[in-house]
Structure 1
């Protein structure tokens, strides 16, 4: 029995490790479909593997790091065909970046349910903005040491690299954390409203990311609608849709990204996705907190009513019933 339990645990751990490797590699191949060349270096406006890696660490813990390293290794081999010494430095950065973000989130008591305001703030500023400093810095330093990147171009390439990694965390990690808790919807759920939200979000995102009139702000009222009515389950997919369409528009130099240099495009995308993610995460967390407080208050009121009923003598309860007080005042009828 003990051996079978250990074998089952090892099988589950191996399956989880393999799943992380496959998810990292496939998301890396997907991210490379929309690559840009910045100062003779290849960068991606959105690098999904960082979001996959951080979500895996939040779900399975630090023991899953070999899966992240293997996924980064296979992704690097698929691009360069071989693992050179400078490739090892990039591999180390891609592994240490999510680990640093995970450690920072754990240090502040982050909860993967994202049901508190502080969790949304921590994911954006510690998990994305701060944690991805490690991967971009190690990657660019490695390129400079290997003479693949001139020192005078370090900061522009570093900014593009950092922006792509940040967007991977901001866009992919929330949606994976939502999918972890996904359940089949009931027939009585708000299907019509959800369908209307998806249609409106699609139209607003297409107009905002393809119009030359710089109308990116159009998506925010719809994001607020999604967060207020559906919390993270509605706002996270909407944020993903906005980010994907913005990346497609940016790589085609269309809409509000037309005529801008690569660095400007990457920074604008990072600011857009940061604002979209902050809006969706923070507003969803506030609404969820309010709903939780309301449910707790209702539950406390029910428990208090039950306690009062248990402690009150039966005779006093009967005396408070309609008509009983009147009879008590009149007294018994004369015989």
Structure 2
């Protein structure tokens, strides 16, 4: 039997072309974001050591978590292309080792996105403590643990003389991935959530947000250019201020700015973390400060946001109860007037049934 080819109609062909164009756009966005994140992570790192934090980890995880499953293949291919260009073409990493690094990053992102979806579903709300804890416990430990194991194992297998460095390589890989997820994934997820809102409005505290950002920049620049005084934690109250007064977007912006200033100062060899310390100690203290500040900011902002939502719900319920009380008062007054009118219009000869009649105030209180 001969089947004749049935050409596509104009709307179908247009829809297919639009779908291909959308796929190419997302492929390009993922490629550029991963490549830019890799170069940023290498730029903000000490020479000949692992990056302090790895932005592609947060970008990869956020992309797979937010995208439907049908988009995952193009994101995975785009990540491989960006990883190959950055490692092989720009930094001379062997192709096989670069592929192993990409496999480690892919295992990390897929496992973290899958576990995170099992915990919170398809929507991650950073204004809920439950979702923030799920992000920290699942995406920051399940994925990075697997990725660090594959990555450190690839380094050892590429050079068996470095088998004694497996533990240190594994720990460095894990910490940089965790920091990349804590610092990069939440802003991307929060931005995507705001774009999908039907009506989006700013928080309404632009002046206070500008004041918080200005104070944070001034304090960060001042603190991280003073080598003699270890006062890096002076910037943390500003983060608490942002978490208490601003929404999640403002809080994440402050946390990201503080991380950039901290890493740039540590790499340049200035600031409280670089005063009289060895390189390993500087890396450990800087990563510890970044992880503590990011985790504290996320949790504190979620708690403050839940408190604001609870207060808003209480105010709304109070207004509803007040409106209901007014309606009951009007109903009781109308019932009292109707009963009095019927008693007045009833003939004297008829036997009146016994009935207790309250005043409007007493009726409202008894209701």
Q: For 2:159 and 2:94, how far apart are their aligned partners in 1?
A: 16
Alignment length (residue pairs)? 324
SS in 1 for 2:254: helix
Q: CA RMSD in A?
A: 3.3
Q: For 1:185 and 1:78, how far apart are their aligned partners in 2?
A: 44
User: What is the correspondence of 1:293-308 to structure 2 with a 5 Å cutoff?
Assistant: 293-299=310-316
Residue 26 of structure 1 deviates from its aligned partner by 1.3
Q: Deviations over 1:17-41 (max 9, x none)?
A: 221111111121122212324xxx5
Structure 1 stretch 74-83 or stretch 8-17: which is displaced more?
74-83
SS in 1 for 2:53: coil
Residue 240 of structure 1 deviates from its aligned partner by 0.6
Residue 75 of structure 1 deviates from its aligned partner by 2.2
Residue of structure 2 equivalent to 1:200: 215
In the alignment, structure 2 segments of 5+ residues that lack a partner are 1-10, 346-367
Q: Is 2:45 the counterpart of 1:35?
A: yes
Residue 93 of structure 1 deviates from its aligned partner by 0.8
TM-score by length of 2: 0.76
Q: Deviations over 1:7-64 (max 9, x none)?
A: 4334323322221111111121122212324xxx542112211111111122214423
1:154 to 166, 187, 196: 166
Instruction: Tell me which of the two structures has the higher relative contact order, counting C-alpha pairs closer than 8 angstroms and 6 or more residues apart.
Output: 1
Q: CA 1:315/1:46 → structure 2, altered by over 3 Å: closer, same or farther?
A: closer
Q: For 1:296 and 1:277, how far apart are their aligned partners in 2?
A: 29
Residue 180 of structure 1 deviates from its aligned partner by 2.4
Contact 1:171/1:239 (<8 A) preserved: yes
SS in 2 for 1:169: helix
Q: CA 1:148/1:309 → structure 2, altered by over 3 Å: closer, same or farther?
A: farther
Contact 2:88/2:95 (<8 A) preserved: no
Q: Is 2:116 the counterpart of 1:105?
A: yes
Residue 276 of structure 1 deviates from its aligned partner by 1.0
In the alignment, structure 1 segments of 5+ residues that lack a partner are none
SS in 2 for 1:43: coil
Q: For 2:299 and 2:93, how far apart are their aligned partners in 1?
A: 43
Q: Is 2:235 the counterpart of 1:219?
A: yes
Contact 2:183/2:294 (<8 A) preserved: yes
Question: Of the two, which has the highest radius of gyration?
Answer: 2
Q: Is 2:57 the counterpart of 1:50?
A: yes
Q: Is 2:147 the counterpart of 1:135?
A: yes
Contact 2:244/2:304 (<8 A) preserved: yes
Q: For 1:309 and 1:178, how far apart are their aligned partners in 2?
A: 41
Q: Is 2:253 the counterpart of 1:237?
A: yes
Contact 1:224/1:283 (<8 A) preserved: yes
TM-score by length of 1: 0.83
Residue of structure 1 equivalent to 2:205: 190
